[in-house]
Amino acid sequence: MSPFKIPSKVKKKLGKIDRKDNNLNYSLQPFVSKWLRDHPPELSYALKPPEMNFETWKQQIKELILNKIPTLEPLPFNKQQLKIYGETTSNGIKFIQFSLMAIPGLRVPGVICIPEKIEYKAPACICIHGHGQSIYNSIGIKKSKNKEYFGYELAKLGLITLSFDWIGSGVRESFKNKYLFFLQEEGQRSNWLRFMGLDMLGLRITEVRSLINFLENRDEVDPKRIGIIGHSGGGTLTLFATIFDDRIKVCATSGYFSTWDHSILAMYHCGCNYVADLRKYLELYDVYSSLAPRPLAITIGKKDRIFPYKGTKVSIPIIKEAYQEINHPENLLIHVQREGHRFSGEKIYPFILSHL
């Protein structure tokens, strides 16, 4: 009832706004969809002028991304205040739990897995879990719903692995509702940082770069053979960290492949996916393409509902063309597995090993 005693018949006389009228739109999502159709990414590889060579386009894209995502200077090894919590050996692997200062005032926890039988210096791989997972899923101590056991499985294959919890995940936060972070806190915290002139993805990239500084100073690690792998949100971080750091020799993502138009701009996704105004200039396949000729492995589920295969089909030929243009098609692997949003190392594990 109106607090001003306006009769209900007044509303009836005003008529009814029919949101179902196909000729009139009031909702944001249809507006976004049409806007995306009418405004293709301005610097996309798919629209690259024939006279522009690949290296020129690639440099343009890299500079754009570096300028759009604010990061901090990663701390060098001698300022990281390393703390070891414990170590043990099981199944032929030495597990070492640690934390270090990756960013001033912010520590990152992790576990290194070192195969007992390795030749010094050995290749290493940074392993990045997705949303709702933690270090302990990656190293096989806890069950992973998406089968994200790469920290353990790659160690069994002979690599030194470093699994860590990125900002807001795993042991770094405590939420009464385990889905609260995914549904609310992620977007809220991302907005905090944007309001401060920072960026959630940018801080996570800074942490990855600090972890590379750490790995480079481990006696067991060959600093010239460091790779990175991640699933879902970990795949996002994996891809963009590779753009920022040339020390990463091979990049492998899982569960982060489609187009932005078909995925993060078509349905609900975590706040960390939305970086500045990147879609004005690029599509996701452009970010991947700009890595060429660096070794790149991608695996995605044909039934993945949050990174739909419809966008994957659009993306595959574009990335293949980029690697072909630079004469290194052998450095690209795209594996479409039959299931949904889960990890599969069937094809990408051998690829990583062959390039490290």
Q: For residue range 219-243, what is the model confidence (pLDDT) as tens digits?
A: 999 999 999 999 999 999 999 999 9
CA distance linking residue 113 with residue 209, whole number of Å: 19
Q: What is the DSSP letter of 184?
A: I
Residue 17: predicted pLDDT? 86
pLDDT confidence of residue 18 = 84
| pTM to 2 decimal places | 0.94
Neighbour-count burial for 293-326, b at 16+ CB within 10 Å, e otherwise: bbbbbbbbbeebebbbbebbebbbebbebbbebb
The CATH homologous superfamily for domain 66-355 is Alpha/Beta hydrolase fold, catalytic domain (3.40.50.1820)
User: In this predicted structure, what is the pLDDT of residue 239?
Assistant: 98
**pLDDT for position 178:** 57
pLDDT digit string (tens) for 240-274?
999 999 999 999 999 999 999 999 999 888 888 89
Tell me how long the chain is.
Answer: 356
pLDDT digits (tens, 9 = 90+) for 174-216: 765 555 555 567 778 888 999 999 999 999 999 999 999 999 9
